[in-house]
Amino acid sequence: MRALALMYHDVVPPGDFSSSGFPGIGADIYKLEHDDFASHLAAIQAARAGAPPALVSGPQPLAPPWPLYLTFDDGGASAIAEIAPLLEQHGWRGHFFVTTGRIGTPGFLSAAQVRELDRRGHVIGSHSCSHPPRISACSWEQLRREWDESVHVLGDILGKSIPAASVPGGFYSRRVAEAAELAGIRVLFTSEPTTSIAILNRCRILGRYGIWRGMPAAVSGAIAAGRRSPRWKQTAWWEFKKLAKKICGNQYLEIRQRLVR
Ligand SMILES: [Zn+2]
């Protein structure tokens, strides 16, 4: 079986990029404006007429089409202000991956809002504690802490176990997944554009297709419909970035920041 997952971040009022999520132009490129996001959802609805988005915690389809998961990283305040209401207009629910060290700080969800999203049927997962710039470069002890503590914080807020997470910054490595699995994570989303599902002990590892500002709604619709060409484009771009990360090592983030500017 394969799965399709879309990776969104924040959704903000026109031009108000600082209202939700991490600040800075590097983060802003992932923030969609309200009307654009509404168009993306309409395109997804048209593409998935008989198979609405699913939740990893819910029943999984036993036959094609592949399940589609809508995911939202970082835990910005727009999760409850903008995203959840728009999803719910379609009768859908999403996966919100929360950076627990930011809970209750400006631009991010409060503990009460995390609880409210869960109460409304959305899946709350971990996105680490501190959102390290390069989680794959963390020591084993740091990795264990990032996953264990974030899962505990969310578990305390919600009074239940937290089986889902997403990898911050897309810096996946096997160690990152091993530490997540030891923290109780059973579904880990990466940023690798793939429909393949990998298994690491008790954890399923799923890729995602990233959506950023300026990307036409038709792209989300085409990916949701299972079309190949937008997926191939993302795979080609991903392979290029992977090579750049390998060649540039620690300087990759600095170079990326300069290019974004
Ligand atoms: Zn993130």
Domain ranges of the chain: 4-229
* CA of residue 133 to ligand 1 center, whole Å: 9
pLDDT digits (tens, 9 = 90+) for 149-205: 999 999 999 999 999 999 999 899 999 999 999 999 999 999 999 999 999 999 999
Tokens 């923290």 belong to 183
* CA of residue 212 to ligand 1 center, whole Å: 13
* CA of residue 50 to ligand 1 center, whole Å: 31
CATH topology classification for 4-229: TIM Barrel (3.20.20)
* CA of residue 97 to ligand 1 center, whole Å: 8
pTM: 0.93
* CA of residue 131 to ligand 1 center, whole Å: 6
Judge contact between 69 and 3, C-beta under 8 A: yes
Measured CA to CA, the distance from residue 180 to residue 151 in angstroms comes to: 9
98 token code pair: 């929360």
Average pLDDT, the chain: 94
Measured CA to CA, the distance from residue 7 to residue 142 in angstroms comes to: 25
pLDDT band at 261 (very low <50, low <70, confident <90, very high): low
Residues 6 or more apart whose CB falls under 8 angstroms from that of 195 comprise 2, 3, 4, 66, 207, 231
Measured CA to CA, the distance from residue 49 to residue 44 in angstroms comes to: 8
Which of the pair, 256 or 186, is modelled with greater confidence? 186
